[in-house]
Amino acid sequence: MSRRTPGITSKSTRTPCGVRPLRGLLAQVAGHTHVRSSVGRLVALKQNARAALLTGVDILGLVLSVSGASVVALLGKAMLAVVLFAIALGFFLRISGRRKGVVKSKPSLPSWTRLASGLLAAAETAMLVEATNLPVRFHQPGFEPWHWVLVVVALWVAYALHMRLLAALVPSRNVTAQT
């Protein structure tokens, strides 16, 4: 009651579902020895491809780990450029949005308000620099020349805010031209 495949001379084992294993079948088929060698070559090719892929991944990981610091520095500079561009755009839009109308003369402030605004701005900026431990001296570790840009911007903003505050608090002198 057993069926035999023509060309197969010896008994072979069958899997639980009744199908002969492929390797056993290939080994038993007469005149098909080149199939076994081509399967061996495919297995070797697969192993070589896997080894080459793993080597490539290792090299890529090495390159990425070495270039990480420079990528971070480049991205930091790019983000700083974006922030500075946004600030400049805000100033430009603020200035261009003002309507030109009749120019009114501003009432003059006492001369001491400029001096007071400058001194208050310098004191606040110095406290801000010391509170944040921003390295602004050449001998401090982590010093960068662009830190001074931050200090100058802080001075300018503080001076402008103090001038507005003092203009609102101090009564101004209306100086009219005598004819």
- How many Å apart are CA 82 and CA 26, to the nearest integer? 67
pLDDT, tens digit, 9 for 90 and up, residues 50-104: 999 999 999 988 888 887 777 777 778 888 888 888 888 888 888 887 766 556 6
Task: Give the domain extent around 117.
Answer: 108-171
- How many Å apart are CA 173 and CA 111, to the nearest integer? 11
**Domain boundary, last residue among 98, 119, 150:** 98
Give, for 175, the enclosing helix (H) or strand (E): none
Q: Residue 155 forms beta bridges with which residues?
A: none
End-to-end distance of the chain based on CA atoms, in angstroms? 135
Q: Which amino acid is present at 77?
A: K
Record the pTM: 0.39
Q: At what angle do helices 147-169 and 112-132 cross, to 10 degrees?
A: 140
Is residue 5 in a domain? no
Is residue 94 in a domain? yes
**Domain boundary, last residue among 65, 87, 122:** 65
